[in-house]
Amino acid sequence: MWIFLNDRFVTREQAVVSVFDHGFLYGDGVYETLRSYGRRVFMLHKHLARLERSASLIGLAIPIPEKDWPELLQEALERNGLEDAYLRITVSRGEGEIGLDPMLCPRPTVVIVAKPLPQYPPHLFDRGVSLALVSVRRNLSSALSPQIKSLNFLNNILAKQEADRAGAFDAVMLNAQGFLTECSTSNLFFVRDGRLCTPSAEAGILDGITRETILLLAGEQAIPVEQGLYTPAVLRQAEECFLTNTTMEVMPVREIDKFPVGSGLPGPITTRLRSLFRTNLSRFLD
Ligand code: PDD
């Protein structure tokens, strides 16, 4: 396995980072998860723009210019002999003395990992997954904005652990006001009275790139779309529900807190959007 570390590709054994890296010490850094389909990367420029936004929101200057990323990612795919792959870019504050001051770290640490795409078992797509509404609240936007895709992922990890304990595939988190936000690594959609609904950015979510793609496709197909602030009671009445992220694309949800969603099978709008995503994919590959 070849991993890009700072300025060159090294082997997995050589790809080591200091115990004084502030990414390790404080979760001080940002990341992006990308996906390639036959070496073409899904929404590459949107992911790079989000990486840049996350970094700028924490005052981190990424040492690699945006124009160099496409080539580096291609090299990561080629060196590892990968086609359909999972790509992760991590940029941490870098190595520095212990202390919170970012000035202690003269040079950010940059890592690209490319590996085969983890496959979700097909029955999850056919039958849908289960969700649990958890007690862990999504980070308050004014404390640690969910728009920063940061290495500090404990909020989501705690939510996921709670879902695991409830025997669910993933967790639905509420915000401090009790409105729906998102799941641990995905955005939430549901259908109510034939309208496709998803929590708005105002609820405090990461504005997912797959979410944006689905909203675009739904708009093109004249499926009524609504973004807003929703209570869990609204979700419980949903006719359909699904999750989106880069690795899952569109994942149907069959039950929430052990209660079936609609008929308990992937609904017509979910199935249609999943297939539209696939048939339109080439438009979104860079
Ligand atoms: N997660 N919300 C959260 C909290 C996420 O971490 C992610 C992505 C999303 C969906 O974003 P996108 O559609 O751009 O993948 C929503 C990635 C997959 C991860 O953390 O690995």
Dihedrals φ, ψ of 47, to 5°?
-65, -40
* Cα(20)–Cα(103) distance, integer angstroms: 14
Contact 246, 277 (CB under 8 A): no
Tell me if 247 CB under 6 Å of ligand 1: yes
246 lines ligand 1 (CB under 6 A): yes
Out of 31, 246, 277, mutate this one to test ligand 1's pocket (max ligand atoms within 8 Å of CB): namely 246
Residue 181 CB less than 6 A away from ligand 1: no
Query: What is the mean predicted confidence (pLDDT) over 17-27?
Result: 98
Q: What backbone phi and psi angles, to 5 degrees, belong to 64?
A: -105, 125
pLDDT in tens, 29-79: 999 999 999 999 999 999 999 999 999 999 999 999 999 999 999 999 999
Res 271: pLDDT: 97
Instruction: Dump the DSSP string for 217-265.
Output: HHHHTT--EEEE---HHHHHT-SEEEEEETTTEEEEEEEETTEESTTSS
Phi-psi region of 249 (alpha: psi -120 to 50; beta: other; left: phi over 0): left
Torsion of the alpha carbons at 136, 137, 142 and 143, rounded to the nearest 10: -10
* C-alpha to C-alpha distance for 72 and 48, rounded to whole angstroms: 12
Q: Write out pLDDT tens, residues 198-252.
A: 999 999 999 999 999 999 999 999 999 999 999 999 999 999 999 999 999 999 9
Question: Measured from the CB, is residue 33 less than 6 Å from ligand 1?
Answer: yes
The whole-number pLDDT of residue 69 equals 97
Residue 19 Cα to ligand 1 midpoint, Å, equals 27
Give the residue numbers marked as catalytic. 149
Q: Report CA 243 to chain centroid distance, whole Å.
A: 11
